Amino acid sequence: MNPLYLASGSPRRRELLTQIGVPFTVIAADIDETPLAGESPAAYVERLARGKAAAGRATLGGIAGCVLGADTAVVLDGRILGKPQDQADALAMLMALSGREHEVLTAVALLDGQRSQARVVRSLVRFRAIAEQEATRYWASGEPRDKAGSYAIQGLAAVFVAGLNGSYSAVVGLPVCETAELLGDFGISCWQDIPAH
């Protein structure tokens, strides 16, 4: 079975892969994440996921293995909401998301040197109305600082989520169902570390 390398520094992605029983090694994959002019959000996340996988693959040299890259974008009215630059930016994002539905796009890409496959998963998240004081308290927690859209659905921001249509794990950062299917296509099975009873 091919060894798997995760080209991501995200602790959430590590947790989700571990949850489905897939052993992996984390490798670095630094790429420019600037959107291209006229690029759609779906094309953007797929390009970044493929780019991270390719950058990770390049660090391996001739070592055999599959490299997984992923990227997540929070999209409101067709505009990508990235990681906040500061408190004002985070509060502006949270207030824009307040009482509305937004889109979360997560792409996952897998490559082994011969072939490359990717999937983009679309989920819809609906926030309840958020008071500005709540948004300020949430910022003070530190959680939104490195999160797309300034929130983490698996963390304190769970209280803002009134509804979800799609994949919860994709909103966290890795669509588990689609990732498992891709891994299977590359000969990597889930549940590898589950003891037989």
Please say if 32 is a catalytic residue. Answer: no
Identify residue 103 by its one-letter amino acid code. E
The Cα–Cα gap between 68 and 188 comes to 12
Catalytic residue among 71, 86, 112, 193: 71
Question: Does residue 66 contact residue 186 with C-beta atoms inside 8 Å?
Answer: yes
Contact 95, 130 (CB under 8 A): yes
Tell me phi and psi for residue 19, to 5 degrees: -60, -35
SS3 92: helix
Report the distance separating Cα 43 and Cα 107, nearest Å: 9
Measured between alpha carbons, how far is 143 from 72 in angstroms, rounded to an integer?
17
Give the dihedral sign, CA 136/138/139/144.
negative
The owner of tokens 């498992």 is 180
Just list the catalytic residues: 71
